[in-house]
Structure 1
Amino acid sequence: MGTTGKFIIEKLPENPEELLRKIIHDCMDQTMEASRKHSIEPDRLGAIISSQLLDNDIWIPIRKIENDTIDNILNRFQLVSQSKIEKGSLLGQPFTVKIQTLGISSLSKNQSIKGRAPQENSQIITHINIDRLIKISNPNNLCLFYALEITRKYFAKELGAKWNFSRYLKNDNRQMEDVFDLLKSAKIPHDLPEYDAVEYVPVVVDFWNDKYKDAGYKFKVFVFGSVSEKPIFKYGNDNFNMPISIFHKNNHFDGIRFVGGMFGLKHKYCFTCEKKFRKSKEHDLKCKSLCRLCGRIGSERPCVATGDFYKKCDECGKKYLNEDCFEHHKKGSNCRQTKICEKCGVIWSMKNYKREAEKKHVCGQKWCQICRQFHSFDRGCFIRPLEAKKSADYRLVTFDFEATQNEKINNGNEERRLHKVNFIAATVTCTKCMENEQLWRSPLRQNGNSCAICGNNRSITFSQRPFNQTKVDKQVVTENPLKFFIEWILFELNQQYTTMAFSHNGGRYDMIMVFKEIYLKGLVPSMIRRGNKLYELKIPRNNKCNEIIFRDSYNLCPVALGKLIGAFGLKVTEKQFFPHLANVSENYDRTLQQLPPKSDYLYGGMPPQKQNEFDKWYEEEKNKQFCLNEALAEYCTNDVQILTEALIAFRNKFFEISKKKNTQPGAATGGIDILKDAMTIASACMKHFRLNHLQPEHLAIVPEKGYENIDNQSELALKYLQWYEETKRVEIQSAHSEGGEHVVDGRYKVDGYIKEEDRAIEVNGCVWHACQKCFGNDLEKILPNGKTVGETREDDEKRIEIIKKFLKNVDIIWECEIHQMLRRNQKMRNAFANYHNKGPINIRDCYFGGRTGPLQMYFDADTIC
């Protein structure tokens, strides 16, 4: 439920916060009242504040309604208002406040993935490679079952040769017969308007597992969506050997021939980790479906022992109990990439040691993914100093968009202005050209020059109309400048080099539109964002385009574009005033005899100081002719020139400041390339500190659970052991005792240990240990740990059996038994209520308290003095 209000404050009071607070409060009250009229009790609230001065809306995410909700919205509004002060106060121009409420308790808590009859002319815009799909063309609402049954036949090779399957795909009658046989056998109705995968996939999988168990098949179905590489739904036991994958989009299901190929060229897919990968050697070594001996990945891995086969490889030292496993490791590269230590039995990767050539495998040391070095895990982790490296050459593209806003669209109950890009200016330079100041400031095509990295053009524009007074290397005149700009930056530049593309404040405006256009090209960039602000868009190098990284220069230089001139002492034309509201198609190809009115320059939203500057300029210039074609080119190229000059000046200064000093003769002395190596100014400063000031093993990385809080026990278990100590008058060694939990046979820790009695006390959680009282005899039921009840109990029995061999007494108490004791014993309940965690301080506990921030942005301190 939502309400929208449009406001303008013509005479700004000295303290506008109270007035703004009242506006937001009234909007909230109206929205909540409207929700209650529709029998929805609101408990979540979000807000969107729009203004012509904003590159993008101020977005306050949906959150719980609290006492400080209005203050949080005010904080966000004032923060953005301050950052846009050069363009003018947001309160001086019309702004829109849209409040949305949500009653979370009224929402459906069940996942729904439905399929029905195919829709005509439905477009699939997705990062998925649809050529890898088994297209389903069902004449009814049964696409889910078509996709399941046909995909099963494909992977089970039930039809024999591939050409038989191709013929089967063209035989609609036979497909329908098979699907109706499946529905009849599984007792599924065939005349429903739609079918939910969450409800019916388990029915089909259970039917298949029972029907084909004699053939050795164990099925598990994975349903993939159009956005993520993770399945949106899955069903089946973890010991499956026949994964069936289907694709869901626009209420329709298709089969999937090759899951890995859907996510990129030569990609494979691991159903255990649910991740894509190119090469087995790059896959997670902790994966349960990885054979460490031969390097293969799959549901039938790791390879199991066969017969009496035994062979030790003379090159890598690994021992093999499976002939196929041994032969495959010799054919592939696994033998050369991994070796086994004969002393400790650890299989280690040669690739890791190439990072530090002087190091070799040391027993007890492992490659740490946290601090990126070899060390014993008893030592802990440290932040490593950076090493000076020479970065590869790259291409720098700076660009700026101008857009019309005169076209209006209806968005529900409100009218919004559509931003359509009608002019783009871009400048291209590279690290080679930057070495010569005269070279990167000079045109290329106009001087008959070219650069292998930059190309033929130093400056290029994409516009709907040509212009004459502003000189650039190339003009591209088109009705869709954004489309041609994206095609140029993606496909027309030298693909051997990375492109770093910067726009000022682009994370809230330019990059948003860039992302949409790239997505329509069938590419999905990885993104780093916070709310609706983009920090980075990254397109990896592929068979279509080179690597391109879009970033917002405001994160490196957090000042208005016009202030960069003074900040770096640039010798360029000052940033100009531009009538943004006069940027309409009606002004194309015509010359006005004087400048547009002040209102077109968003005069009302300017702060007083800027209004004075504008008044002086406007009085001098108002009688000059105005041509939109020429004004767009002059204004936009000037913005890009300022940004280019500022970024190169900042790069040179920071590179010199961060250059490593006092290095050994012949060692690299390169500094931080702030445009390539850092996304924000904070990141650049930290890299400078690590490169020049941080000493080895000086700054520790604090473990997630603190330095001592390593043994993980439930709060209930610790309270029970403390109660046991007090009532039995014994001393129990537990996770928080000196030395931690008692270890049996060098591998099994017990929750509690009484040395005098040689007694172990195991407190078992009912869910994680498959309690007999709670889970009964349903051995195939899957628990949250991914194992079945039967597998969990089998593992526990083996563990307890080994513990009993080393200890005289082993007591097992279940979580449900403790709760039953608490219900019956008042003294026990009181004792549990008074027990406190005796463990070490957890550093993250100090961060509790939710969102933090100033509760009031403006306060007159004199009133309380």
Structure 2
Amino acid sequence: MEKFVIAKDFVRKVRRFNLTGRTLEFKIKPIPGGAESVSWIRDAINQVIAKGIEGLHPEDQVAFSFCCKQFSRGEGWLKFRAARDVTYDDVWKVISDIYQSNSSGLNTETFCLGVTSVKMPAGRGKGRNYNSYNEECAKRSGIISINNKDNMCLPRVLVVAIAFATKDPEYNKIRKDTGKIQRDKAIELTKNAAVTIPAAGCGIPELQQFQRHLTCFKIVVYKYGTKGRDVIFKGTEEEAPSLNLLYHEGHYNVVTSLTSAFLCRDYCETCHIPYDHKERHRCGGTCPGCRQAPACSLATNVTCDNCKRSFRGQTCYNNHLQSLCQKIRRCEECFKVVQSDRKHTCGEIYCKICRKHAPADHLCYMQPDVGKPKAEDLLFCFYDLETRQEKQLEGGARLHEPNLCFQTVL
């Protein structure tokens, strides 16, 4: 039971921090008959402190004020301190000292306790572009949101993902659930897979049952907020078209584009890593020749007459013709793979300190900064403003108004 009432709740300017603060004024309820007065008041003050710092961060500032009609020497104060440092003992000590100084006892009918809190600014990096999971999924072109009110979320996303993977002519109808076609296909899939949908929705056991039924597909469930690095479920290691799903707080959505969903240029489905530069990503699932996934099997060695690189068979060779042959080549003298549009000299590397190509064993030093303008070409302007502060603004601040300016140019 609350042993206090909030008499006032208002916002005011706190000049010490030049920020807006919130002030709550509390009155302690009358002590009921038969209750021990000191314990009642202690509990009430503890409740007031808890209410006053409710919702504050540890670094936010809190101050207390104490007033009573019986105080002949004015109000009492407990200066601003961090919310984490506020203790009952400090507040009770100030109250005890005030009443001892005024030679009176605490009267709950006239005693008022004020709590002023100021939320301090704190930078924690760039904010999110989206306020919620549903908002982000709705905005992303590579994610299809499933808007259902039943517990058929998983079979619904599976039928949409299957329609997308197989390029079903009725894909748009299934995605939009036109004429309840999405629901009907989800019920049919559940029946064929012999899956019983729990009241709370589907989890890992149901995913395993659906995977055993959908032998021609591979179900992959990604955890939201990890950019594809955290995989909750991966149905099989065999090569098959993937049904990519996104999970967050009891809801599944369909992922039609991993690069769009995870904000990257490329995504490796073997090691589950997003990346922006294909030439910098190496893993066992990517072919070193054509840089396609999965890796090409070792067959006959085929050499390209144009870029001089070797490939793992005819398929690997054909894959590289589509995107790599004009971009990278192998030097016939030093056998180093380089980009075709850049000048190459055997034995040289690009030094990031010198910002030029140099021998691999060269010694270099920190280079002078040539980006700043020369001092002799600069114009310096110095000025001094004399101001007055006669106009008062809202909140107690005063406006600086210049009335005299001194300036010189060099």
What is the TM-score of this pair, normalised by structure 1? 0.27
| Alpha-carbon distance between aligned partners in 2 of 1:348 and 1:359, rounded to the nearest angstrom | 10
- SS of residue in 1 equivalent to 2:305: coil
Secondary structure in 1 matching 2:194: coil
Q: 1:293 aligns with which of 289, 299, 317?
A: 289
Task: Find 2:297's aligned residue among 297, 304, 307.
Answer: 304
Is the aligned partner of 1:246 residue 2:248?
no
Q: Which runs of 5+ in 2 are unaligned?
A: 1-55, 63-77, 87-131, 350-357, 402-410
Candidates 323, 328, 334, aligned match of 1:332: 323
Q: CA deviation at 1:348?
A: 4.2
Aligned with 1:149 (options 149, 154, 159): 159
Cα deviation digits, residues 297-328 of structure 1 (max 9, x gap): x2xx222357xx65321233323343332233
Aligned equivalents of 1:330 and 1:225: distance in 2? Answer: 36
- Between the aligned partners of 1:273 and 1:375, the Cα distance in structure 2 is 33
How far apart, in 1, do the equivalents of 2:398 and 2:344 lie? 54
**Separation in 1 of the partners of 2:221 and 2:232?**
6
2:206: which partner in 1? 200
1:135 aligns with 2:135: no
The whole-number CA distance in structure 1 between the counterparts of 2:377 and 2:79 is 45
Of the two, which has the highest radius of gyration?
2
> Any idea what the Cα deviations from partners look like across 1:607-653, whole Å, max 9, x if unmatched?
xxxxxxxxxxxxxx9x9553249958759xxxxxxxxxxxxxxxxxx
List aligned pairs for 1:259-278, cutoff 5 A: 259-264=258-263, 267-278=265-276
* Shift in alpha-carbon separation, 1:194–1:275, aligned structure 2, 3 A: same
Question: In the alignment, what sits opposite 1:164?
Answer: 170
1:52 — aligned with what? 61
Instruction: Tell whether the 8 Å contact from 1:329 to 1:335 is kept in structure 2 after alignment.
Output: no
Per-residue CA deviation, residues 56-107 of structure 1 (Å, 9 max, x unaligned), is xxxxxxxxxxxxxxxxxxxxxxxxxxxxxxxxxxx952332279xxxxxxxx
Correspondence 1:186 to 2:193 = yes
Q: Does the Cα contact within 8 Å between 2:153 and 2:201 map onto a contact in 1?
A: no
- SS class of match (2:59): strand
Q: Which residue of 1 aligns with 2:221?
A: 222
| CA–CA distance in structure 2, aligned partners of residues 374 and 353 of structure 1 | 20
Q: How does 1:694-843 map to 2 (within 5 A)?
A: none
- The 2-side partners of 1:191 and 1:325 are apart by 47
- In structure 1, the residue matched to 2:183 is 176
Specify whether residues 335 and 374 from structure 1 end up closer, same or farther in structure 2 by C-alpha distance, changes over 3 A only.
Answer: farther
3-state DSSP class of the match of 1:287?
coil
Distance 1:154 1:123, change over 3 A: closer
State the alpha-carbon separation in 2 of the partners of residues 205 and 268 from structure 1: 26
Is 1:323 matched up with 2:311? no
Instruction: Please report how far the alpha carbon of residue 273 of structure 1 lies from its aligned counterpart in structure 2 after TM superposition.
Output: 3.2
**Mapping 1:346-365, distance limit 5 Å:** 348-351=336-339, 359-360=347-348
Once the two structures are superposed, residues 832-855 of structure 1 have per-residue CA deviations (whole angstroms, 9 ceiling, x without a partner) of xxxxxxxxxxxxxxxxxxxxxxxx
Q: Distance in 2 between matches of 1:272 and 1:139?
A: 34
Q: Is the 8 A contact 2:306 2:325 kept in 1?
A: no
Instruction: Give yes or no for contact 1:168–1:175 (8 Å, CA) kept in 2.
Output: yes
Which residue number corresponds to residue 110 of structure 2? none
Distance 1:355 1:254 in 2: 47
Q: Structure 1 pair 93/437, CA: closer, same or farther in 2 (3 Å)? A: farther
- The corresponding residue for 2:83 is 96
SS where residue 261 of structure 1 aligns? helix
- Equivalent residue of 1:223, what SS? strand
- Does structure 1 conserve the Cα–Cα contact (< 8 Å) formed by 2:146 and 2:153? yes
Residue 626 of structure 1 corresponds to which residue in structure 2? Answer: 392
Residue pair 2:61, 2:83 contacting (<8 A) in 1 also: no
Greater strand content: 2
Whether the 8 Å CA contact 2:309–2:329 is kept in 1: the answer is: no
After TM superposition, give the deviation of residue 291 of structure 1 in Å: 1.9
Deviation at 1:389, TM superposition (A): 5.9
Change (3 A) 1:129 1:200: same
C-alpha distance in 1, partners of 2:398/2:137? 35
Letter in 2 for 1:256: V
Higher helix fraction: Structure 1 or Structure 2? 1
Conserved 8 A contact 1:133-1:254: yes
- How far apart in 2 are the matches of 1:206 and 1:386? 62
SS in structure 2 at match of 1:137: coil
Aligned equivalents of 2:375, 2:245: Cα separation in 1: 50
Distance 1:340-1:148 versus aligned 2 partners, 3 A rule: farther
Q: CA deviation at 1:151?
A: 0.7
Identity of aligned residues (%): 13
Alpha-carbon offset, residue 334 of structure 1? 4.0
Q: 1:268 to 1:433 in 2, by over 3 A?
A: farther
Distance 1:237 1:385 in 2: 53
- Give the distance between the partners of 1:355 and 1:92, measured in 2 at CA: 69
Give the secondary structure class of the aligned counterpart of 1:180.
helix
> How far apart are the structure 2 equivalents of 1:254 and 1:434?
63
Tell me how far 1:184 sits from its aligned partner: 2.9
CA gap of 1:240–1:222, structure 2 versus 1, over 3 A, is: farther
The aligned runs of 1:548-627 (5 Å cut-off) are: 626-627=392-393
- Residue 51 and residue 165 in structure 1: after superposition, are their counterparts in 2 closer, same or farther (change >3 A)? closer
Deviation at 1:434, TM superposition (A): 13
TM-score (norm 2): 0.52
Partner deviation per Cα, 1:11-45 (whole Å, 9 max, x = no partner): xxxxxxxxxxxxxxxxxxxxxxxxxxxxxxxxxxx
CA RMSD of aligned residues (A): 4.8
CA distance in 2, matches of 1:355, 1:384: 21
Task: Tell me the SS of whatever aligns to 1:49.
Answer: coil
Aligned residue type for 1:254: N
- The answer (yes or no) to whether the contact 1:127–1:226 under 8 Å persists in 2 is no
SS of 1:233 mapped into structure 2: strand
Quote the offset at 1:292 in angstroms.
1.8
Please give the alpha-carbon distance, in whole angstroms, between the structure 1 residues aligned to 2:312 and 2:166.
28
1:260 Cα deviation (Å)? 0.6
* CA distance in 2 between partners of 1:433 and 1:195 (Å): 70
Partner of 1:151: helix, strand, or coil? helix
Per the alignment, residue 595 of structure 1 pairs with none
CA pair 172-303 structure 1, distance change in 2 beyond 3 A:
farther
